[in-house]
């Protein structure tokens, strides 16, 4: 789907209720041979395959997930003020207090809820044109990326805009320079900011905490260090820079100076990922109607969605486009390009 078609569908789709759920994709195991972990040493050839966890994990009573990763549906999650609509919800993030930040392509671009779905606040009015990725750093600052405004906005925990990267409404004058339809941003413990850029640039940019450009890397292509729509960037607990290389169906892993380390292939348009450092888990939103949970060594723990469109709670009518987890291990998945498809998956302990 072209970007123009994406935006057209997003604006014209019928509004559906926000719900949550979980369904195990039985066809997942047949896709495992395509999931490869490719090391730098084997980048030009065949890498080791990502393996399913050894042994049989017990089935979940809910039918969603497996083993320690069992979930139930939280139907009707998210209570909006009277007269408000969700709009298209492409991204979601959680902070350390389990507040949930929802990007909305509406008059209310950053909507904030508690974990029970109670509305708390709204930020970003009059700033955004087309919200895309969103993340929260360890200090509670929110980094909101606007694709069409070609900007990254930093809000402090009180909602005050304190930093803008890029010039609103103006794409980069030269190819490779920031920004031309950026997609996501993430912050390292040092405070340095990494931005994936994006739909018209095949780059990752690294900025100082005060917004000075330090370096950039990447170009259009399919080789190591090349991108076709770098769609999400996240900093791993070990400091690695993970990039969802969406149209190349892979995740690439770099050090913080842009040196290629490894990659995971065999994914299906990975749009976003989230790390759970306490559980050694990586949650991946794949646009082909699927969510997968891995260990950081590449072992597939479980997945669901089945790679087909479905309006059943827990399955995906749109494409999983954003994902995050709260401190309790509950998952939030934002779908695009549909209106109001944000699902909560409650982890069962």
Range of the domain at 88: 3-348
Q: What local confidence, expressed as pLDDT, does residue 5 receive?
A: 43
Residue 165 contacts residue 150 (beta carbons within 8 Å):
no
Q: What local confidence, expressed as pLDDT, does residue 306 receive?
A: 73
Provide the pLDDT confidence category of residue 51 given band limits of 50, 70 and 90. Answer: very low
Q: Does the CA dihedral 326-328-329-332 come out positive or negative? A: negative
Q: Is the pLDDT of residue 18 over 60?
A: no
Provide the pLDDT confidence category of residue 63 given band limits of 50, 70 and 90. Answer: low
Q: What local confidence, expressed as pLDDT, does residue 106 receive?
A: 94
Q: What local confidence, expressed as pLDDT, does residue 126 receive?
A: 94
Q: What local confidence, expressed as pLDDT, does residue 57 receive?
A: 64
The C-alpha atoms of residue 225 and residue 234 are separated, in whole angstroms, by: 16
Look at 45-54, 185-194, 215-224, 322-331 and tell me which has the smallest mean pLDDT: 45-54
Q: What local confidence, expressed as pLDDT, does residue 290 receive?
A: 95
Helix (H) or strand (E) holding 3: helix 3-12
Q: Is the pLDDT of residue 300 over 90?
A: yes
Residue 67 contacts residue 24 (beta carbons within 8 Å):
no
Overall number of domains in the chain? 1
Q: What local confidence, expressed as pLDDT, does residue 115 receive?
A: 97
Q: What local confidence, expressed as pLDDT, does residue 81 receive?
A: 96
Q: Structure pTM?
A: 0.86
CATH number assigned to the domain comprising residue 226: 2.120.10.30
Give 40-47's long-range contacts (Cβ < 8 A, gap of 24+). Answer: 40/224, 40/260, 40/261, 40/262, 43/223, 43/224, 43/260, 43/263, 47/262, 47/263, 47/265
Q: Is the pLDDT of residue 4 over 50?
A: no
Both tokens assigned to 275: 């790390």
């Amino acid at each position: 789907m072209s970007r123009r078609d994406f935006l057209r569908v997003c604006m014209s789709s019928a509004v559906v209720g926000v719900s949550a759920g979980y369904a195990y994709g039985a066809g997942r195991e047949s896709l495992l041979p395509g999931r490869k972990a490719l090391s730098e040493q084997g980048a030009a050839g065949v890498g080791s395959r990502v393996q399913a966890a050894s042994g049989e994990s017990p089935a979940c009573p809910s039918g969603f997930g497996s083993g320690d990763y069992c979930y139930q549906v939280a139907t009707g999650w998210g209570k909006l003020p009277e007269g408000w609509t969700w709009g298209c919800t492409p991204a979601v993030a959680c902070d350390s207090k389990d507040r949930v930040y929802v990007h909305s392509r509406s008059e209310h671009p950053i909507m904030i809820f508690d974990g029970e779905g109670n509305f708390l606040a709204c930020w970003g009015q009059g700033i955004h044109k087309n919200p895309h990725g969103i993340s929260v750093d360890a200090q509670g600052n929110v980094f909101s990326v606007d694709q069409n405004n070609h900007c990254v906005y930093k809000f402090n925990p009180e909602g005050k805009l304190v930093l803008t990267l890029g010039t609103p409404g103006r794409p980069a004058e030269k190819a490779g320079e920031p920004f031309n339809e950026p997609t996501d941003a993430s912050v390292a413990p040092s405070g340095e900011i990494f931005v994936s850029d994006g739909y018209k640039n095949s780059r990752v940019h690294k900025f100082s905490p005060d917004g000075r450009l330090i370096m950039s890397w990447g170009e259009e292509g399919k080789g190591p260090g090349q991108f076709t729509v770098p769609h999400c960037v996240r900093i791993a607990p070990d400091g690695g820079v993970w990039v969802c290389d969406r149209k190349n169906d892979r995740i690439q892993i770099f050090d913080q100076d842009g040196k290629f380390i490894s990659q995971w292939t065999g994914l299906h348009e990975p749009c976003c990922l989230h790390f759970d450092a306490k559980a050694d888990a990586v949650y991946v939103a794949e646009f082909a109607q699927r969510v997968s949970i891995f260990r950081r060594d590449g072992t597939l723990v479980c997945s669901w969605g089945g790679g087909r469109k479905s309006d059943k709670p827990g399955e995906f009518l749109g494409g999983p486009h954003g994902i995050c987890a709260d401190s309790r291990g509950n998952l939030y998945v934002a779908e695009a390009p549909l209106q109001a498809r944000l699902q909560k998956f409650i982890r069962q302990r």
